[in-house]
Amino acid sequence: MITEQRNPNSIDIDLKSIAEIVEIFHEEDRKAVDAVADQSDAISFAVEMIVDAFSQGGRLFYIGAGTSGRLGVLDASECPPTFSTEPELVQGIIAGGDIALRKSVEGEEDKRESGAQTIREYALTPEDIIVGIASSGRTPYVLGALKEAHKIGSKTIFLCCVPPKAELNAYIDHFITPIVGPEIITGSTRLKAGTATKLVLNMLTTISMIKIGKVYDNLMVDVNASNTKLVERSIRIIHTVTNVDDTTAQATLQESDGSAKVAIVMLTKGIEKKEAIDLLEKHHGFLRPILTKNESRE
Protein backbone atom coordinates (compact mmCIF):
# COMPACT_ATOMS: atom_id res chain seq x y z
CA MET A 1 0.00 0.00 0.00
CA ILE A 2 1.12 3.52 -0.80
CA THR A 3 0.43 4.67 2.74
CA GLU A 4 2.81 2.03 4.08
CA GLN A 5 5.67 2.59 1.64
CA ARG A 6 8.91 4.29 2.63
CA ASN A 7 9.42 7.83 1.41
CA PRO A 8 12.79 8.25 -0.38
CA ASN A 9 12.75 11.96 0.46
CA SER A 10 13.00 11.22 4.19
CA ILE A 11 15.55 8.40 4.24
CA ASP A 12 18.07 9.04 7.05
CA ILE A 13 15.86 11.81 8.39
CA ASP A 14 17.21 11.16 11.88
CA LEU A 15 20.63 12.29 10.67
CA LYS A 16 19.41 15.61 9.27
CA SER A 17 19.31 19.00 10.94
CA ILE A 18 16.08 20.51 12.19
CA ALA A 19 16.12 23.02 9.34
CA GLU A 20 16.55 20.23 6.79
CA ILE A 21 13.65 18.27 8.28
CA VAL A 22 11.44 21.38 8.19
CA GLU A 23 12.20 21.72 4.48
CA ILE A 24 11.28 18.07 3.89
CA PHE A 25 7.94 18.74 5.55
CA HIS A 26 7.36 21.74 3.28
CA GLU A 27 8.18 19.68 0.19
CA GLU A 28 5.88 16.83 1.19
CA ASP A 29 3.01 19.05 2.33
CA ARG A 30 2.98 20.71 -1.09
CA LYS A 31 2.35 17.24 -2.52
CA ALA A 32 -0.71 16.92 -0.28
CA VAL A 33 -2.11 20.21 -1.56
CA ASP A 34 -1.47 19.19 -5.17
CA ALA A 35 -3.12 15.81 -4.58
CA VAL A 36 -6.28 17.53 -3.31
CA ALA A 37 -6.25 19.90 -6.29
CA ASP A 38 -6.20 16.87 -8.58
CA GLN A 39 -9.50 15.81 -6.99
CA SER A 40 -11.33 19.07 -7.72
CA ASP A 41 -13.96 17.46 -9.95
CA ALA A 42 -14.58 14.67 -7.44
CA ILE A 43 -14.91 17.19 -4.60
CA SER A 44 -17.31 19.33 -6.63
CA PHE A 45 -19.54 16.34 -7.34
CA ALA A 46 -19.50 15.34 -3.67
CA VAL A 47 -20.63 18.84 -2.69
CA GLU A 48 -23.48 18.58 -5.18
CA MET A 49 -24.50 15.30 -3.53
CA ILE A 50 -24.42 16.88 -0.07
CA VAL A 51 -26.42 19.95 -1.09
CA ASP A 52 -28.98 17.68 -2.73
CA ALA A 53 -29.24 15.64 0.48
CA PHE A 54 -29.75 18.80 2.54
CA SER A 55 -32.47 19.99 0.14
CA GLN A 56 -34.37 16.75 0.81
CA GLY A 57 -34.11 17.08 4.57
CA GLY A 58 -31.15 14.72 4.83
CA ARG A 59 -28.13 14.85 7.10
CA LEU A 60 -24.39 14.57 6.48
CA PHE A 61 -22.37 12.03 8.45
CA TYR A 62 -18.61 11.56 8.60
CA ILE A 63 -17.27 8.26 9.90
CA GLY A 64 -13.70 7.18 10.48
CA ALA A 65 -11.20 5.67 12.90
CA GLY A 66 -8.18 7.27 14.55
CA THR A 67 -6.98 10.47 12.88
CA SER A 68 -9.58 10.16 10.13
CA GLY A 69 -12.39 9.93 12.66
CA ARG A 70 -11.05 12.84 14.71
CA LEU A 71 -10.85 15.06 11.63
CA GLY A 72 -14.44 14.22 10.72
CA VAL A 73 -15.68 15.01 14.23
CA LEU A 74 -13.70 18.27 14.20
CA ASP A 75 -15.21 19.41 10.92
CA ALA A 76 -18.75 18.48 11.96
CA SER A 77 -18.43 20.18 15.35
CA GLU A 78 -17.47 23.49 13.73
CA CYS A 79 -20.69 23.76 11.70
CA PRO A 80 -23.09 24.88 14.48
CA PRO A 81 -20.97 27.84 15.69
CA THR A 82 -19.91 28.89 12.20
CA PHE A 83 -23.20 28.47 10.36
CA SER A 84 -25.84 28.15 13.12
CA THR A 85 -26.79 24.70 11.92
CA GLU A 86 -28.61 22.24 14.14
CA PRO A 87 -26.13 19.74 15.64
CA GLU A 88 -27.94 16.92 13.84
CA LEU A 89 -27.34 18.32 10.34
CA VAL A 90 -23.63 17.43 10.18
CA GLN A 91 -22.39 14.70 12.51
CA GLY A 92 -19.00 13.09 13.03
CA ILE A 93 -18.64 9.49 14.17
CA ILE A 94 -15.37 7.95 15.36
CA ALA A 95 -14.68 4.27 16.00
CA GLY A 96 -14.63 3.70 19.75
CA GLY A 97 -16.91 6.65 20.53
CA ASP A 98 -16.05 10.00 22.06
CA ILE A 99 -13.33 8.54 24.29
CA ALA A 100 -11.37 7.83 21.10
CA LEU A 101 -11.10 11.56 20.46
CA ARG A 102 -8.52 11.78 23.24
CA LYS A 103 -7.27 8.23 23.75
CA SER A 104 -6.40 5.67 21.12
CA VAL A 105 -8.96 2.87 20.76
CA GLU A 106 -7.22 1.24 17.84
CA GLY A 107 -8.84 -2.18 18.03
CA GLU A 108 -12.27 -0.79 17.15
CA GLU A 109 -11.24 0.04 13.61
CA ASP A 110 -10.87 -3.68 12.82
CA LYS A 111 -14.52 -4.46 13.58
CA ARG A 112 -16.61 -4.30 10.42
CA GLU A 113 -19.82 -5.22 12.26
CA SER A 114 -19.25 -2.39 14.76
CA GLY A 115 -19.33 0.05 11.88
CA ALA A 116 -22.57 -1.45 10.60
CA GLN A 117 -24.08 -1.37 14.09
CA THR A 118 -23.15 2.30 14.46
CA ILE A 119 -25.11 3.14 11.30
CA ARG A 120 -28.15 1.37 12.70
CA GLU A 121 -27.81 3.20 16.01
CA TYR A 122 -27.71 6.58 14.25
CA ALA A 123 -30.82 5.59 12.29
CA LEU A 124 -29.62 6.72 8.88
CA THR A 125 -32.29 7.14 6.21
CA PRO A 126 -32.29 7.17 2.39
CA GLU A 127 -32.25 10.99 2.55
CA ASP A 128 -28.93 11.01 4.43
CA ILE A 129 -25.40 11.00 3.01
CA ILE A 130 -22.30 9.53 4.64
CA VAL A 131 -18.61 10.17 3.97
CA GLY A 132 -16.35 7.33 5.07
CA ILE A 133 -12.79 8.46 5.79
CA ALA A 134 -9.91 5.98 5.70
CA SER A 135 -6.47 7.00 4.43
CA SER A 136 -5.52 3.37 3.78
CA GLY A 137 -8.75 2.65 1.94
CA ARG A 138 -9.31 -0.56 3.89
CA THR A 139 -10.44 0.21 7.46
CA PRO A 140 -13.03 -2.50 8.28
CA TYR A 141 -15.06 -0.31 10.64
CA VAL A 142 -15.52 2.33 7.94
CA LEU A 143 -16.24 -0.13 5.15
CA GLY A 144 -18.78 -1.93 7.33
CA ALA A 145 -20.51 1.36 8.00
CA LEU A 146 -20.59 2.32 4.32
CA LYS A 147 -21.97 -1.05 3.30
CA GLU A 148 -24.74 -0.85 5.90
CA ALA A 149 -25.56 2.72 4.88
CA HIS A 150 -25.83 1.58 1.26
CA LYS A 151 -28.28 -1.15 2.29
CA ILE A 152 -30.44 1.50 3.94
CA GLY A 153 -30.36 3.62 0.80
CA SER A 154 -28.14 6.44 2.04
CA LYS A 155 -25.72 7.96 -0.46
CA THR A 156 -22.13 6.89 0.24
CA ILE A 157 -18.84 8.69 -0.40
CA PHE A 158 -15.40 7.29 0.37
CA LEU A 159 -12.44 9.57 1.06
CA CYS A 160 -9.13 7.71 0.95
CA CYS A 161 -5.53 8.34 -0.08
CA VAL A 162 -5.01 5.22 -2.19
CA PRO A 163 -6.60 4.00 -5.44
CA PRO A 164 -9.81 2.26 -4.30
CA LYS A 165 -10.38 -1.44 -4.86
CA ALA A 166 -12.89 -2.31 -7.57
CA GLU A 167 -15.14 -4.33 -5.23
CA LEU A 168 -15.96 -1.16 -3.28
CA ASN A 169 -18.04 0.04 -6.22
CA ALA A 170 -20.75 -2.36 -5.06
CA TYR A 171 -21.72 -0.11 -2.16
CA ILE A 172 -19.90 3.20 -2.57
CA ASP A 173 -21.48 5.81 -4.82
CA HIS A 174 -18.57 8.22 -5.14
CA PHE A 175 -14.84 8.40 -4.37
CA ILE A 176 -12.47 11.22 -3.44
CA THR A 177 -8.90 9.94 -3.63
CA PRO A 178 -6.07 12.44 -3.07
CA ILE A 179 -2.97 10.30 -3.61
CA VAL A 180 -0.42 11.99 -1.36
CA GLY A 181 2.26 9.30 -1.60
CA PRO A 182 4.37 7.75 1.19
CA GLU A 183 4.53 9.60 4.48
CA ILE A 184 7.65 11.27 5.88
CA ILE A 185 7.51 8.82 8.78
CA THR A 186 6.52 5.53 7.20
CA GLY A 187 2.84 4.74 7.78
CA SER A 188 2.09 7.89 9.82
CA THR A 189 -1.04 8.96 7.95
CA ARG A 190 -1.73 11.77 10.41
CA LEU A 191 0.80 13.70 8.30
CA LYS A 192 0.17 14.22 4.55
CA ALA A 193 -2.93 12.06 4.44
CA GLY A 194 -4.32 13.92 7.44
CA THR A 195 -3.53 17.26 5.81
CA ALA A 196 -5.24 16.22 2.58
CA THR A 197 -8.26 14.91 4.50
CA LYS A 198 -8.65 18.19 6.41
CA LEU A 199 -8.47 20.19 3.17
CA VAL A 200 -11.18 18.07 1.57
CA LEU A 201 -13.48 18.22 4.60
CA ASN A 202 -13.04 22.01 4.73
CA MET A 203 -14.44 22.21 1.23
CA LEU A 204 -17.23 19.67 1.64
CA THR A 205 -18.95 21.47 4.49
CA THR A 206 -18.01 25.07 3.71
CA ILE A 207 -19.06 25.00 0.06
CA SER A 208 -22.23 23.12 0.96
CA MET A 209 -23.07 25.79 3.52
CA ILE A 210 -22.44 28.53 0.96
CA LYS A 211 -24.84 26.81 -1.42
CA ILE A 212 -27.65 26.57 1.15
CA GLY A 213 -27.48 30.28 1.98
CA LYS A 214 -25.29 30.29 5.08
CA VAL A 215 -22.82 32.77 3.57
CA TYR A 216 -23.34 36.19 1.98
CA ASP A 217 -20.44 37.50 -0.08
CA ASN A 218 -17.56 36.01 1.94
CA LEU A 219 -19.17 36.72 5.31
CA MET A 220 -20.47 34.10 7.74
CA VAL A 221 -23.81 35.87 8.19
CA ASP A 222 -25.27 32.86 10.01
CA VAL A 223 -22.56 32.85 12.68
CA ASN A 224 -23.85 31.85 16.12
CA ALA A 225 -22.95 34.84 18.32
CA SER A 226 -22.38 32.71 21.41
CA ASN A 227 -19.31 34.38 22.90
CA THR A 228 -17.58 37.76 22.94
CA LYS A 229 -15.43 37.07 19.88
CA LEU A 230 -18.40 35.95 17.81
CA VAL A 231 -20.56 38.86 18.99
CA GLU A 232 -17.84 41.24 17.87
CA ARG A 233 -17.58 39.41 14.55
CA SER A 234 -21.34 39.65 14.09
CA ILE A 235 -21.24 43.41 14.71
CA ARG A 236 -18.48 43.78 12.10
CA ILE A 237 -20.49 41.74 9.61
CA ILE A 238 -23.60 43.87 10.16
CA HIS A 239 -21.54 47.05 9.81
CA THR A 240 -19.87 45.77 6.63
CA VAL A 241 -23.15 44.91 4.90
CA THR A 242 -25.36 47.78 6.12
CA ASN A 243 -22.77 50.51 6.81
CA VAL A 244 -24.45 51.43 10.11
CA ASP A 245 -22.31 52.43 13.08
CA ASP A 246 -21.24 49.83 15.61
CA THR A 247 -23.68 51.05 18.26
CA THR A 248 -26.63 50.57 15.93
CA ALA A 249 -25.27 47.22 14.76
CA GLN A 250 -24.92 46.00 18.34
CA ALA A 251 -28.40 47.17 19.33
CA THR A 252 -30.01 45.53 16.31
CA LEU A 253 -28.06 42.34 16.92
CA GLN A 254 -29.56 42.22 20.41
CA GLU A 255 -33.05 42.85 19.01
CA SER A 256 -32.54 39.98 16.54
CA ASP A 257 -31.59 37.57 19.35
CA GLY A 258 -28.01 37.36 18.12
CA SER A 259 -28.71 36.69 14.44
CA ALA A 260 -26.52 38.85 12.20
CA LYS A 261 -28.54 37.79 9.16
CA VAL A 262 -31.86 38.83 10.72
CA ALA A 263 -30.31 42.10 11.93
CA ILE A 264 -29.08 42.89 8.42
CA VAL A 265 -32.58 42.38 6.98
CA MET A 266 -34.12 44.51 9.73
CA LEU A 267 -31.73 47.37 9.02
CA THR A 268 -31.74 47.25 5.23
CA LYS A 269 -35.52 46.87 4.93
CA GLY A 270 -36.57 48.93 7.94
CA ILE A 271 -38.67 46.12 9.39
CA GLU A 272 -39.11 44.32 12.69
CA LYS A 273 -37.59 41.00 13.65
CA LYS A 274 -40.58 38.81 12.83
CA GLU A 275 -40.97 40.37 9.39
CA ALA A 276 -37.26 39.89 8.76
CA ILE A 277 -37.48 36.23 9.72
CA ASP A 278 -40.52 35.76 7.46
CA LEU A 279 -38.67 37.40 4.57
CA LEU A 280 -35.69 35.12 5.06
CA GLU A 281 -37.94 32.08 5.17
CA LYS A 282 -39.55 33.22 1.90
CA HIS A 283 -36.10 33.23 0.32
CA HIS A 284 -35.04 29.93 1.94
CA GLY A 285 -32.47 31.68 4.12
CA PHE A 286 -30.60 33.37 1.27
CA LEU A 287 -29.70 36.97 2.06
CA ARG A 288 -28.55 38.18 -1.37
CA PRO A 289 -31.94 38.13 -3.14
CA ILE A 290 -33.43 40.14 -0.27
CA LEU A 291 -30.73 42.79 -0.52
CA THR A 292 -30.88 43.00 -4.31
CA LYS A 293 -34.70 43.01 -4.67
CA ASN A 294 -36.81 46.07 -4.05
CA GLU A 295 -39.09 44.61 -1.42
CA SER A 296 -39.90 45.65 2.13
CA ARG A 297 -42.98 44.87 4.20
CA GLU A 298 -44.68 41.76 2.85
Catalytic residue among 28, 108, 109, 148: 109
Q: Is 78 a catalytic residue?
A: yes
Sheet holding 155-159, edge to edge: 90-94, 60-64, 129-133, 155-159, 174-176
In Å, what is the CA distance from 253 to each residue of 89, 91, 112, 224? Answer: 25, 29, 48, 11
DSSP one-letter string for 57-74:
T--EEEEESHHHHHHHHH
- Asked if 234 and 260 touch (Cβ cutoff 8 Å), the reply is yes
Which amino acid, 276? A
Task: Give whole-number Cα distances, 66 to 85, 100, 159, 253, in Å.
Answer: 26, 7, 14, 40
Q: How far apart are CA 68 and CA 194, in angstroms?
A: 7
Active-site residue (options: 48, 78, 127, 255): 78
Q: Is 232 a catalytic residue?
A: no
Three-state DSSP string of 185-213: CCCCCCCHHHHHHHHHHHHHHHHHHHHCC
What does DSSP say about strands 174-176 and 60-64: parallel, antiparallel, or unpaired? unpaired
What's the CA gap between 176 and 197, in Å, rounded? Answer: 10
d(CA 75, CA 92): 8
Residues tagged active-site: 78, 109
